[in-house]
Amino acid sequence: MNLHTLPLSDLLHPTLLLQIRTGQDLSQSIQIPALIDTGFDGYLSVPVYFAQELNLEILGETEVELANGQQYTVKIALLRIEFDKYLIEVETILGEDQEALIGTSLLNQISDKFILNFKERQIELLVKDL
């Protein structure tokens, strides 16, 4: 396991840059900022327009429930995230939000410990050997 320490520019909106691999041979790579949302128990949510720009394959649909109890149907796509030296495939919700969100399922998959260190203005992740 490796400890990753990542700087925070905004303490109240902890954001990580995710490296997304695209293309049939996964040779293309883009970075997107994603807000860590500990109230979201999924893996990842990205704006619908992002999926359209990248021409992502839609796998299906699912029902989601927001914190306020509102339910709605969203599309699901597969995204490949390059993290540390690993390539992780995650089912991704295509949401109406304007920002990408990292959920607790993704944090749990990649790390054994997640610390939001306000004093040092950083995120600490103890990354699992995937």
Listed by start position, the domains of the chain span: 2-127
What local confidence, expressed as pLDDT, does residue 27 receive? 76
Q: 7-13 long-range CB contacts below 8 Å, 24 or more apart?
A: 7/121, 7/122, 8/116, 8/121, 8/122, 8/123, 11/118, 11/121
User: Stretch 16-29: mean pLDDT, rounded?
Assistant: 82
pLDDT above 80: residue 47: yes
Tell me which of 15 and 52 has the higher pLDDT: 15
Contacts of residue 5, defined as CB under 8 A and 6 or more positions apart, other chains included, come to 122, 123, 124
What local confidence, expressed as pLDDT, does residue 42 receive? 92
Instruction: Say if strands 86-95 and 44-47 run parallel, antiparallel, or are unpaired.
Output: parallel
Residue 95: closest CA among 36, 31, 52: 52
Percentage, residues of the chain above pLDDT 70: 98
CATH number assigned to the domain covering 2-127:
2.40.70.10
